[in-house]
Structure 1
Amino acid sequence: MTDRTSTQSYRTERFKAFVDAVVAIAMTLLILPLMESVSDAGAAKLTTFEFLAEHTGQLMSFLLSFFLIANFWMGHHRQYDEVTAITRPLLLCNVLWMATIVWLPVPTAMLGQMDTDPLQQVVYIGTLILTSVATLIARAYLLRHPELTTASADRIRHGAAADVATIVLFAIALGLGIAIGPVGYFALLLLLFTGPLARLVLRLWRRQADVG
């Protein structure tokens, strides 16, 4: 007998609208620590230059997390643009994905206002890894249930390869951060190599499939 909890589906329009709202709120939350800092700077009679110099870390962490969340959202939008039904397991994957997005403003505030330490980098970059893992799990589910999407299996595999590449690069950045220090955040520039690494992962998968 079919498990009703796995076959029950939800309207994709409401699902996408809800995800968009969650992402918008998370991106808005990123600016709140800076707003508080502006108020403190005003009370302390700081000049604009003094404020910018004193809060460079906050500004950089805001821009970094804003870009990352926007990038995650654009990838999510592309992935679910071709999904025709949302089942309970797929919904749960997205609940995990949204939880990491909503949580990201917290480690962002840590990054901008606290001294860097290994645990801080684990919390921040670890959150990014979990976001990518949640995306990868959803793609794996869609590969097993092609009836839920109009995307071809090859297209989904391309996305999964990009997810694996992103996770690997995040993990390398985290390892560098723990071993060397704050350089771990600069190591996030390794994401520029996501495309080439994803193509390598895809070739390895195809080679393994041919051998199998």
Structure 2
Amino acid sequence: MTDQPHRFTTERFKAFVDAVVAIAMTLLILPLLEAVSDASSGKLTTAEFFHEHTSQLFSFLLSFVLIATFWVGHHSQYRDVEAITGPLLWINIAWMATIVWLPVPTAMIGQLDADPLQAIVYIGTLILTQVTTLSGWLYLLRHPGLTTTSRTELREGVLGDASAIILFSLALLIAVFLAPYGYAGLLLLLLSGPTTRLLRRLWAGGRATPDAPR
């Protein structure tokens, strides 16, 4: 017998993730297809359709870009992973659950009046996606034998996701308490680079402190 936990091959795992992401991205367009059908029944012109469904178009583009970004990050995270353990598999199932759920709050943005709970549901979902990604980085950092990625790159992944969680949380506060600005707070994600560099300095300072001469 072996003490090692049961491991899964990465090929089917990655194919499964890709399929789930592709389906979620496809689901984003369905409300717009229904809206086109309704517009046709209502004899709307193309210009009138675009005017009346601006929110839906915005929410579709926003979520499509976000899911694509999450997938690119996931691909980079697991590119060099050589085996998937049970806990790591469940971390990714949780990640996929947030991706599959995202079309629901996306439809809320496009079809319902904006309110604080809507922002909590939408941006909260994005935060949960990042939390599960961060959990994956932390697990790989603790089990480096599963991947050929260097510990430096694993730490960078941790810092990058921690940065995104902080910025998403600030965006959520803006969306809830500064309602007229809606989801403009998501533009804070453009500051992910500087925020990651700040966290890197804090990490380095915290690790150096215990070794400082007394």
Q: What TM-score, normalized by structure 2, do the two folds share?
A: 0.96
The residue aligned with 1:170 is 168
Matches within 5 A, 1:101-140: 101-140=99-138
Could you tell me which amino acid in structure 1 is paired with residue 65 of structure 2?
F
- Structure 1 CA distance, aligned partners of 2:129 and 2:182? 18
Superposition CA RMSD, Å? 1.2
- Aligned partner of 1:49 in structure 2 is 47
- Indicate if the aligned counterparts of 1:83 and 1:150 stay in contact, CA closer than 8 A: yes
2:66 maps to which of 65, 68, 78: 68
Which of 5, 8, 11 is the equivalent residue of 2:9?
A: 11
Deviations 1:116-148 (A, max 9, x none): 000000000000000000000110000110000
Identity among equivalent pairs (%): 63
Gapped regions of structure 2 (runs ≥ 5) = none
CA–CA separation in structure 1 for the residues paired with 2:180 and 2:2: 51
Partner of 1:187: 185
Query: For the Cα contact (< 8 Å) 1:174–1:184, is it kept in 2?
Result: no
Q: TM-score, normalised by structure 1?
A: 0.97
Of stretches 175-184 and 20-29 in structure 1, the one that deviates more from structure 2 is: 175-184
Tell me the number of residue pairs that the alignment of Structure 1 and Structure 2 aligns.
210
Which residue type is aligned with residue 150 of structure 2?
A: S
CA distance in structure 2 between the aligned counterparts of 1:101 and 1:87, rounded to whole angstroms: 21
Distance in 2 between residues matched to 1:138 and 1:93, nearest whole Å: 6
Q: Equivalent of 1:98, from 96, 101, 118?
A: 96
Secondary structure of 2:82's counterpart equals coil
| Aligned partner of 2:33 among 32, 35, 52 | 35
Aligned to 1:21: 19
Per-residue CA distance 1:35-70 (angstroms, 9 max, x = gap): 000000001010000000000000000000000000
